[in-house]
Amino acid sequence: MNAEQILIVGGYGDVGRRIAIELAPSYPGRVIVVGRQSVRADEAATAIGYGVRGGQIDTSAPSSIASALEGVSIVISCVDLPNRALLWAAIDRGLRYTDITPRLTELGRGAAYERVVAATQATGACVVLGTGIAPGIANVMARALTDSLSGADEIETALMLPAGDSGGPALFEYFLQELAMSYEIRIDCRRRSGSALIRRREHFGLSAAGCPDSP
């Protein structure tokens, strides 16, 4: 890996910069941070040091993606890309790719993931999707606990973030969208639709105030 170039897309954002800072000392001169604004990428690269380089990428333009991937072996995406053009470009080139994006449902379901698997097998690419907190480490922990217990009938997960933690505008936007979207849960083995901002007795067995059996 020491001889390979590592491209961090969104590398001057809060999360991308942290990743670059962690990798740079171990892989001097191999880390490239890119984003829509080349000036910000160059400034971040200079501040991080260790031979980190800055660059520009427009993830909506295939030619810009192709240029950014030139000579790169590893791609780390720290930006939300619903069209997944960067993912498919990395797969086509047989690269190693990972992202932290939580919106895996926008990629599709079932057959969409089978398509990714088939494409990676054809080109030799290695892809790990959704390596952030949730999905990501939360999924790994749930699997590890399930294996250690020899199985589980039910898994409940929750995400609590410290108030002092920092995050960019994209992360804040994601949380707002998550709060507004509907989702499915299981109650007594039955699927129910719900929302983080709606509490109704017929959905959760709770009153409007959120307390069981309250008037």
How many domains does the chain contain in total?
1
The answer to the question of residue 49 being in a domain is: yes
Cα–Cα distance for residue pair 77/13, rounded to 1 Å: 11
The DSSP symbol for 158 reads: -
The answer to the question of residue 188 being in a domain is: no
Give yes or no for residue 190 having a pLDDT over 80: no
Angle, vertex CA 23, rays to CA 21 and CA 26, nearest 5:
120
pLDDT digits (tens, 9 = 90+) for 124-140: 999 998 887 666 677 77
The pLDDT confidence band at residue 179, using thresholds 50, 70 and 90, is: low
Which among 51, 55, 56 has a CA at the least distance from the CA of 24? 51
The predicted structure's pLDDT at residue 16: 93
Mean pLDDT of 100-127: 85
Mean pLDDT of 83-105: 88
The predicted structure's pLDDT at residue 164: 63
Domain with 55 in it: what CATH number? 3.40.50.720
Cα–Cα distance for residue pair 171/174, rounded to 1 Å: 5
Q: Tell me the residue range of the domain where 72 lies.
A: 6-128
Mean pLDDT of 181-190: 69
Give yes or no for residue 165 having a pLDDT over 90: no
The predicted structure's pLDDT at residue 77: 95
Residue 16: which H helix or E strand, with range? helix 14-23
The answer to the question of residue 87 being in a domain is: yes
The answer to the question of residue 25 being in a domain is: yes
Give yes or no for residue 123 having a pLDDT over 90: yes
The answer to the question of residue 20 being in a domain is: yes
The answer to the question of residue 185 being in a domain is: no
User: Which of helix, strand or coil describes residue 195?
Assistant: strand
Mean pLDDT of 179-199: 67
Q: What is the mean pLDDT of the chain?
A: 81
Which among 78, 86, 75, 88 has a CA at the least distance from the CA of 120? 88
Give yes or no for residue 102 having a pLDDT over 70: no
Angle of the 14-23 helix axis to the 38-48 helix axis, nearest 10: 40
Which whole-number Å values give the CA distances from 44 to 51, 62, 94, 100, 171, in the listed order?
11, 24, 28, 20, 19
**Strand 74-77 versus strand 96-99 pairing type:** parallel
pLDDT digits (tens, 9 = 90+) for 134-160: 666 777 788 888 899 988 887 777 666
The answer to the question of residue 26 being in a domain is: yes
Cα–Cα distance for residue pair 39/46, rounded to 1 Å: 11
The answer to the question of residue 41 being in a domain is: yes
What percent of the chain is predicted at pLDDT more than 70? 70
